[in-house]
């Protein structure tokens, strides 16, 4: 695994736990953790259960004893690492969004297609597909339980940047992150809405907004400096007063049209005061509706419009029964799962696909399509919210 941050902890949990609860057909060994700082990487390896460490990802992907490369670095390095790993014959799992630009994502998708012809597989980590309630929502829609889809609403609401003096970080630097709320969390809303609806967006109209345009500079894991973050302080100012320019969006609002003509509304924000991690998808159909909220991840709201009028209303399905997706491997009915379980499900699905020799999903091609949606939203915003075709 290449990367030692928050996602490194989450992926490590997935790799460590999955083979202990699922029969995968092969047992992943947590062989090498790669980071830039040797001391920090060793501490993470000791905590998370990796056998050894390295500060040279190129050396690691060249090793004959490595079969899988898991990329959890910031987006600016995804393309270089993934393409090199695939060329070296390694299966690749890469965190979302796939890349920082469409051009990088196209190169990654092409490399994955070429590698697949040699039996080398790649998957992008849109983990929320693997929350059991979200997978159940997809299954109900696919089975026709809500009838003809008429409207889609998707939002991802967080508030961790609402403090205007929260420090500058790599996630606020376009060169490193690619985009802000749009790519960081909006990508999840796009992927999950398309996954559950079983449809793809073909055009968008949107607007991006940067609410706080500069933030205090502090040292972070990437060694962020005044120069690299576009410092706004004069040369003689005290270092403590240095502020960096935020070069990404804080808020993304857009409308999207799906390939069957259905309209969807999308919102991604890190300024929704009081909302911590509210990824919400609601789909209204001719025969019913479904509603999912990540902050209530063990349940799904289902409305059956075919029931007698006096019995209609949203029903809460507690998604903990062994008949529900992924659940049979875990605890007795009614015992809740958490955020980290999605990463175990991701590891399970990826390893099983490798063992079976079949393309795992979401593929790099799927990741490219989401990248094209993000790019179209940004283009639309730059052009006064004009409707913009996906992949144009």
Q: Which residues contact 17 (CB under 8 A, 6 or more apart)?
A: 340, 344, 347
Question: Residue 291 CB: number of other CB atoms within 10 A?
Answer: 19
- Predicted local confidence at residue 266, as pLDDT: 98
Alpha-carbon separation of residue 158 from 7, 178, 273 (angstroms) = 17, 19, 7
Residues in the chain, overall count:
392
Task: Decide whether 6-128 matches 130-361+371-382 in CATH topology.
Answer: no
Query: Could you tell me the two tokens for 61?
Result: 């992907």
How many angstroms separate the CA atoms of 353 and 356, rounded? Answer: 5
3-class state of residue 149 by DSSP:
strand
Burial label for 92, CB within 10 Å (0-12, 13-18, 19+), is buried
- Predicted local confidence at residue 130, as pLDDT: 98
Query: Could you tell me the two tokens for 130?
Result: 């693997």
Query: Could you tell me the two tokens for 236?
Result: 């003689």
User: pTM, whole model, 2 decimals?
Assistant: 0.93
The domain ranges of the chain are 6-128, 130-361+371-382
Q: Which residues contact 235 (CB under 8 A, 6 or more apart)?
A: none
3-class state of residue 312 by DSSP:
coil
Which stretches of the chain score pLDDT less than 50? Answer: 221-239
How many angstroms separate the CA atoms of 151 and 282, rounded? Answer: 8
Q: Is the CATH number 3.30.360.10 carried by domain 130-361+371-382?
A: yes
- Predicted local confidence at residue 220, as pLDDT: 56
Q: How far does CA 300 lie from the centroid of its chain?
A: 20
The fold adopted by the segment(s) 6-128 is Rossmann fold (3.40.50)
- Give the DSSP per-residue string, 72-132: -S-GGGHHHHHHHHHHTT-EEEEESSS-SSHHHHHHHHHHHHHHHTTT--EEEE-GGGGSH
């Amino acid at each position: 695994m290449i990367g030692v941050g928050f996602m490194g902890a989450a992926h490590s949990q997935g790799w460590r736990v999955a083979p202990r609860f699922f029969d995968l057909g092969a047992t992943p060994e947590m062989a090498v953790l790669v980071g830039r700082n040797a001391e920090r990487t060793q501490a993470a390896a000791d905590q998370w259960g990796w056998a050894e460490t390295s500060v040279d990802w190129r050396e690691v992907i060249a090793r004959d004893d490595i079969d899988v490369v898991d990329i959890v670095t910031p987006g600016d390095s995804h393309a270089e690492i993934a393409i090199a790993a695939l060329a070296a014959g390694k299966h690749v799992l890469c965190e979302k969004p796939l890349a920082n630009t469409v051009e990088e994502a196209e190169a990654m998708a092409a490399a994955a297609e070429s590698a697949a012809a040699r039996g080398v597989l790649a998957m992008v980590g849109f983990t929320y597909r693997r929350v059991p309630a979200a997978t159940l929502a997809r299954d109900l829609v696919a089975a026709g339980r809500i009838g003809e889809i008429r409207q889609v609403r998707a939002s991802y609401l967080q508030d961790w940047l609402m403090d205007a003096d929260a420090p500058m970080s790599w996630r606020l630097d376009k060169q490193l992150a690619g985009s802000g709320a749009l790519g960081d969390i909006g990508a999840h809303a796009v992927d999950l809405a398309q996954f559950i609806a079983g449809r793809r967006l073909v055009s968008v109209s949107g607007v991006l907004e940067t609410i706080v345009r500069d933030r205090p500079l502090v040292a972070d894991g990437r060694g962020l400096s005044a120069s690299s973050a576009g410092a706004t302080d004069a040369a003689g100012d005290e270092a403590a007063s240095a502020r960096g320019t935020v070069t990404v969006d804080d808020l993304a609002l857009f409308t999207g049209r799906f390939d069957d003509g259905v309209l969807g509304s999308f919102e991604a924000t890190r300024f929704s005061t009081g909302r911590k991690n509210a990824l919400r998808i609601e789909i209204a159909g001719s025969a019913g509706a479904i509603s999912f909220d990540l902050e209530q991840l063990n349940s799904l709201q289902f409305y059956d419009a075919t029931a007698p009028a006096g019995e209609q209303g949203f029903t809460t399905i507690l998604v903990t029964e062994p008949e529900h997706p992924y659940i049979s491997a875990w605890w007795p009915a009614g015992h809740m799962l958490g955020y980290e379980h999605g990463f175990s499900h991701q590891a399970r699905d990826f390893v099983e696909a490798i063992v079976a020799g079949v393309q795992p999903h979401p593929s790099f091609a799927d990741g490219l399509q989401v990248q094209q949606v993000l790019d179209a939203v940004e283009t639309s915003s730059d052009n006064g919210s004009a409707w913009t075709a996906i992949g144009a």
